Amino acid sequence: MTPISHYYHGKNRLFEKSFIVNYANISEKESDYIINVLSKIIL
């Protein structure tokens, strides 16, 4: 499993973020919220 920080700080952030959105079939706004919540929990 790839750490959230990889998607958040990686060089291909935009590409990988769009991949997450497409894969999960959720809106970009929702994915931002989910990533922010998860990163707060992890960090």
pLDDT attached to residue 12? 55
pLDDT attached to residue 5? 54
pLDDT attached to residue 21? 54
- The model's pLDDT over 8-38, given as tens digits with 9 standing for 90+, comes to 555 555 555 655 555 555 666 777 888 888 8
Q: How far is CA 17 from CA 1, 23, 39, in A?
A: 15, 10, 14
Amino acid at 19: F
Exposure letters 26-39 (e unless 16+ CB within 10 A, then b): eeeeebeeeeeeee
Q: Two tokens at 2?
A: 């790839």
End-to-end alpha carbon distance in the chain: 17
The domain spans of the chain are: 11-42
